[in-house]
Copies of this chain bind each other. A is one copy, B any other.
Amino acid sequence: MDHLNPTQTLATWITALRPGDIPAATRRDGLRTFVNWLGCAVGGATHETVDRALAAVAPFSGPARATVLGRRERLDELHAALINGISSHVLDYDDTHLKTIIHPAGPVASAVLAVAEPRRDSGRELLTAVTIGVAVACRIGNSVYPDHYDRGWHITGTTGVFGAAAAVGWLLRLSPQQMAWALGIAATQASGLREMFGTMTKSLHPGRAAQNGAMAAFLAHAGFDSSERGIEAKRGFAHVLSTKQSFGEITEGLGERWEASLNSYKPFACGIVIHPTIDGCCQLREEFGSLASQAIEVELHTHPLVLELTGKTAPKTGLEGKFSVYHSAAMALIHGDGSPTAFTDAAVLDPAVVALRQRIRVVTHPDMHEASVRIIIKLADGKVVERHVERAIGSLERPLDEAALSRKFVGQAAPVLSEAGSRRLLDLAWSLEEAADAGELLGAAVPAQRSA
Contact = CB atoms under 8 A, between A and B. Distances in A.
B52 A196 contact: no
Contacts of A219: 52-53, 56-57, 204
Given A62-B59, A196-B184, A219-B53, A224 B201 contact: yes
Contacts of A200: 224-226
A237 B154 CA distance: 12
Nearest to A233: B195
Contact of A57 (B184, B190, B193, B218): B218
Nearest to A157: B188
Interface residues of A, number: 58
B151 A240 contact: yes
What number of copies of this chain does the assembly contain? Answer: 2
A187 interface: yes
Interface string A188-220: 111111111001110011001000000100110
A23 interface: no
Contacts of A162: none
Contacts of A410: none
Interface string A217-232: 0110111111101100
Interface in A323-341: none
Given A190-B191, A191-B189, A240-B153, A49 B224 contact: yes
A5 to B, nearest CB: 14
A218 B56 contact: yes
Given A57-B215, A184-B195, A201-B226, 8 more contacts: A56-B215, A56-B219, A60-B77, A62-B62, A62-B76, A184-B196, A185-B201, A200-B225
* 8 A-B pairs with the lowest CB-CB distances in the bound complex, closest first: A152-B235, A201-B226, A56-B222, A152-B240, A194-B235, A195-B235, A195-B236, A191-B191
Interface of A: 49, 52-53, 55-57, 59-63, 76-79, 151-154, 157, 181, 184-185, 187-196, 199-201, 204-205, 208, 215, 218-219, 221-227, 229-230, 233-237, 239-240
